[in-house]
Amino acid sequence: MTEHIDLEQSLHMYEQMAKIRAFEEKVNELYKSAKMPGLAHLYSGEEAVAVGVCEALKRDDYITSTHRGHGHCLAKGAKVDRMFAELLGKEAGYCRGKGGSMHIADPDSGNLGANAIVGGSMGIATGAAMSAKMRKSGQVAVCFFGDGALGQGLFYEVANMAALWKLPVIYVCENNLYGEYTHHTETAAGEFIARAQAFGIHTEIVDGQDVHAVYATMQKLVERARRGEGPAFLQCNTYRYYGHHVGDINRAYYRAKDEEADWRANRDPLTILATRLIAQKLTDASVIARIDAEVNAEVETGVAFALDAPFPDVREVNEDVYA
């Protein structure tokens, strides 16, 4: 997997992951200082999945995202400043302040929206793939969802239809071990991939902490989808560093602190990539430090922009219900 590393692309993927990490740390701060209302579900720890997947896509390929969607949005090309603006309910936000954390969408970068209903976007992604196939556009659609979404019946309906119609859709299951506050072994019987295999869908399991592995596998799946070989199911094993949402602070009752510490210390996607690049003498720590500094500065600038940005006029409450 690592023998043909393109350094420039690897550093780009590092930058994207570092940006997501810095973004989420800032979101946590905003929430804790009561500057942000509502709910936010942090993506920290899972960065290699969004970045590895989106790196294999073109700008006009589609994604649908989840309640834990900031990473997907940024990886697909959304800008930090307008993301923060949306989280703060500002007019400059991607949804003019009407969507918030769980509904950020950016059709210009192929992002058909985060979705607060677990599994709720599976039909939309599948329909986007159907549309791409009908229009012969060559686009593919990626549907992100978590392990918890396998409890939703919609998955079995879309998997059946996508397989029957050989749709160019890739179902990316982010297995971060917990659906809300419950370990997947208590909520999902059998193997995850067996569900897709039952429909004859091509499946892969990948280490979701290794961005190279995610990217390389995803590239194969995208190519076969573009060739008309139909849907695929990619299980990415990963971990969320924080709780189900930002308010889920004391987690010991459902997962051990040692487990959290172990993932952070030994399975961190940024560390894994940086260590590999340095060990192979492709880069050095100063380059990594420079990228970290750059993305931190981008996040600081972005949040400052968003904090200063105006709220939408309250009269907008009635706008955009209908086209």
Least distance (Å) between residue 84 CB and other proteins: 15
Q: Which is nearer to other proteins, 284 or 316 (CB)?
A: 316
Least distance (Å) between residue 93 CB and other proteins: 7
Asked if 73 and 83 count as a contact pair (C-beta separation under 8 A), the reply is yes
Least distance (Å) between residue 122 CB and other proteins: 7
Least distance (Å) between residue 313 CB and other proteins: 13
Least distance (Å) between residue 216 CB and other proteins: 28
Q: What tokens appear for 173 in the block?
A: 């299951």
Distance CA 130, CA 223 (A): 17
| Helix, strand, coil percentages for the chain (3-state, nearest 5) | 50, 10, 40
Asked if 48 and 211 count as a contact pair (C-beta separation under 8 A), the reply is yes
Does 127 help bind other proteins (rule: CB under 8 A)?
Answer: yes
Does 323 help bind other proteins (rule: CB under 8 A)?
Answer: yes
Does 146 help bind other proteins (rule: CB under 8 A)?
Answer: no
Does 198 help bind other proteins (rule: CB under 8 A)?
Answer: no
Question: Whose CA is closest to 98, among 323, 248, 315?
Answer: 315
Distances from the Cα of 285 to the Cαs of 93, 264, 277, 279, 296, in angstroms?
A: 35, 19, 9, 10, 16
Which residues have C-beta within 8 Å of that of residue 202, sequence separation ≥ 6?
221, 224, 229, 230, 231, 232, 233
Q: Which is nearer to other proteins, 122 or 274 (CB)?
A: 122
Asked if 152 and 179 count as a contact pair (C-beta separation under 8 A), the reply is no
Q: What tokens appear for 126 in the block?
A: 């599948």
Distance CA 276, CA 17 (A): 15
Please identify which residue in 29, 32, 164, 310 interacts with other proteins, judged by CB under 8 A: 164
Give residues 39-68 in contact with other proteins (rule: CB under 8 A).
Answer: 62
Number of residues that bind other proteins (CB under 8 A): 44
User: Residue 37's CB: how many other CB atoms inside 10 A?
Assistant: 12
Please identify which residue in 158, 222, 274, 295 interacts with other proteins, judged by CB under 8 A: 158
Least distance (Å) between residue 95 CB and other proteins: 4
Please state the separation of Cα 12 from the chain's center in Å.
16
Q: Which is nearer to other proteins, 78 or 213 (CB)?
A: 78
Does 70 help bind other proteins (rule: CB under 8 A)?
Answer: no
Please identify which residue in 12, 25, 77, 103 interacts with other proteins, judged by CB under 8 A: 103
Give residues 223-282 in contact with other proteins (rule: CB under 8 A).
Answer: none
Candidate ranges 39-47, 116-124, 231-239, 280-288; the one touching other proteins (CB under 8 A): 116-124
Q: Which is nearer to other proteins, 81 or 260 (CB)?
A: 81
Query: Taking phi first (over 0 means left), then psi (-120 to 50 degrees means alpha), and beta for anything else, what does residue 231 get?
Result: beta
Please identify which residue in 28, 131, 283, 296 interacts with other proteins, judged by CB under 8 A: 131
Candidate ranges 51-59, 88-96, 206-214, 265-273; the one touching other proteins (CB under 8 A): 88-96
Start-to-end CA distance of the chain, whole Å, equals: 47
Q: What tokens appear for 104 in the block?
A: 């950020």
Candidate ranges 15-23, 68-76, 100-108, 261-269; the one touching other proteins (CB under 8 A): 100-108
Give the residues lining the site for other proteins (CB under 8 A). 62, 93-99, 103, 105-107, 112-113, 115, 117, 120-132, 134-135, 141, 153-154, 157-158, 160-161, 164, 319-323
